[in-house]
Amino acid sequence: MSLTGTHEVFASIDEQALNDILRAFFNARPRYRHYGSPAFVPATTVNETAIPAIAFPGVPGGIDWRIRFSTPVIDLFEQTQPLLPGLVLQPGQFSLHTDIELCVNCVSRKDTRSDVANARASRPNRPDHVTCTKLGVFGIGHLDVWNNPGGDGAVRLRLDSVELVDIKPDSLETVLECVIRMILDGILSSIVLPLKALRAGAFELIVSEGPEIEHNHIQAFGNV
């Protein structure tokens, strides 16, 4: 069976190559894995992205927090990586695994009268008492693709669901899964990989079918 089938051009990238590209992305731009509010990350740099503190009445400056995750490992259907029992990898989907470190700056207010005298010596923009937790995260997602008749196009990974490891009670797990899914999906959706890069610049390709996940690859068909 030919690679091109009924089309003129075929292009594919296997899951290991896709993971290599993601690793290259996160190595070059670590800030897409490291986020923190001002107590942790005063300003956005190549290494870290500054995000606002969580505003809450009565908490001066808000709740400072930080989230970091390891470079995700993608498994394109068919499944070759372990998954949590609650997740099933269906045709056209990918799975994702990453480790997340979630930290908060656990401060005690120092605005009683006896504390006021020492206020000038405090360093409000520095973490006071950092408390962290690490979570293993598994997720399932799909490709978000676009292309045009000019041959331009791109792929994004979109996350549909996540499962966390060993969180009790279940309601807390559900809440955290929702928050982490939104965060990870927001991060992944900002990574737009051009189709030209996914085929290492080979040939012209005006896509007529795909890109789609098939047999551990992302593949596309089209014409010159």
Partner 1 sequence: MSKILAAIDEGGANTLLADAIASIPTLSSSGSASLGPFSAGYSVHGHFASGGVDLIAPSTVRIQHLRFVWQMTLSFGIDLNDFLPHFCLPRVCVDIPCVGRVCTPKICLSWPTIGVSVPFGDFVEASADFGIDVSLSAGQWSVQIAVQNLSQLQFGPATAGILFLIGAAITPLLLFIPFIGPFLAGAVDIILASIGIAGLTGFLGPILSPFLAGLKVPVYQQDKHFKVLPSSGPVDPDVFIELDAVSAQIQHSDEDELVLSVDISP
Q: What is the dihedral of CA 120, 126, 128, 130, to 10 degrees?
A: 180
Indicate whether 11 belongs to the interface with partner 1 (CB under 8 A): yes
Indicate whether 42 belongs to the interface with partner 1 (CB under 8 A): no
Stretch that binds partner 1, among 60-68, 82-90, 138-146, 193-201 (CB under 8 A): 193-201
Cβ neighbours of 134 (radius 10 Å): 13
Indicate whether 39 belongs to the interface with partner 1 (CB under 8 A): no
**In the set 125, 200, 209, 215, which binds partner 1 (CB under 8 A)?**
200
Taking the C-alpha atoms of residue 187 and residue 51, their distance in angstroms, rounded to an integer, is: 13
**Strands, E assignment, 37-170:** 49-50, 65-69, 73-76, 93-105, 130-147, 153-164
Tracing tokens 């520095």 back to the chain, one arrives at 126
Q: Is 153 strand, coil or helix? A: strand
Indicate whether 55 belongs to the interface with partner 1 (CB under 8 A): no
Indicate whether 149 belongs to the interface with partner 1 (CB under 8 A): no
42 DSSP assignment:
S
Indicate whether 117 belongs to the interface with partner 1 (CB under 8 A): no
Q: How deeply is 70 buried, as exposed, middle or buried, from its count of CB atoms within 10 A (0-12, 13-18, 19+)? A: middle
Indicate whether 80 belongs to the interface with partner 1 (CB under 8 A): no
**In the set 40, 44, 68, 176, which binds partner 1 (CB under 8 A)?**
44
Closest to 139 in 3D by CA, of 189, 188, 87: 87
Q: What is the nearest approach in angstroms of partner 1 to the Cβ of residue 54?
A: 23
Q: What is the nearest approach in angstroms of partner 1 to the Cβ of residue 81?
A: 16
- Cβ 147 vs Cβ 138: under 8 Å: no
Q: What is the nearest approach in angstroms of partner 1 to the Cβ of residue 60?
A: 28
Nearer to partner 1, 13 or 39 (CB): 13
Q: Which residues bind partner 1 (CB under 8 A)?
A: 1-4, 7-14, 16-17, 19-21, 23-25, 27-29, 31, 44-46, 193-194, 197-205, 223-224
